Amino acid sequence: MIPFGCTAAPYYSADDRCDDDRGFHHGIDVALPCGTPIRAGVAGTVIDPSRPGSPGAAYGSKAFRLRVATDDGRVDVLIAHARSVKVRPGDRVRRGEVIAETGDLGAPDGCHLHFEQRATDGGLSTATNPARLLALRAG
């Protein structure tokens, strides 16, 4: 739906990094039917929501962070707008495990997965393009 970076999509405040008063999208949005199972692509740990960098209301009331290991070290992945979450803070998640179901909590534009990559315990300013983590290729 919406890639990482400057976007002409509505709902985003103008950002200094973007021309023409466009906003900045800190993750990747993937449109999916409501209730689609979201599976962990790699093993990780569900982060306690009281730690720094927890997602705000715009991410939906059930958004959560998963800490995962990458080739470059550890990062936090934010899963947002889920309508149902199958894991709890502190849980160790296995690759392939269903961790949530897509929803539209906090989302004005329908059910989708918002997938965001941040530094561990990092705030919005630490969000980076998750395309490599997701092994996405331009095409």
Q: Which is nearer to Zn ion, 91 or 104 (CB)?
A: 104
- Residue 14's contacts (CB-CB under 8 Å, 6 or more residues apart) are 21, 22, 23
Q: Which is nearer to Zn ion, 29 or 101 (CB)?
A: 29
Binding window for Zn ion (CB under 5 A); candidates: 4-12, 24-32, 52-60, 90-98: 24-32
Closest distance of CB 7 from Zn ion, Å:
9
When binding is defined by CB under 5 A, the residue of 29, 38, 68, 99 that contacts Zn ion is 29
Regarding 76 and contact with Zn ion (CB under 5 A), the answer is no
Residue whose CB is nearest to Zn ion in the complex, by number: 114
Q: Got the DSSP string for 43-93?
A: -EEEPPTTSTT---GGG-TT-EEEEEEETTEEEEEEEES-SEE---TT-EE
Regarding 114 and contact with Zn ion (CB under 5 A), the answer is yes
Contact 117, 124 (CB under 8 A): no
Contact 10, 95 (CB under 8 A): no
Closest distance of CB 113 from Zn ion, Å:
9
The 3-state DSSP class for residue 28 equals: strand
Closest distance of CB 103 from Zn ion, Å:
13
Using the structure block, give the residue that is written with the tokens 């561990």.
120
Q: Which is nearer to Zn ion, 6 or 43 (CB)?
A: 6
Closest distance of CB 118 from Zn ion, Å:
13
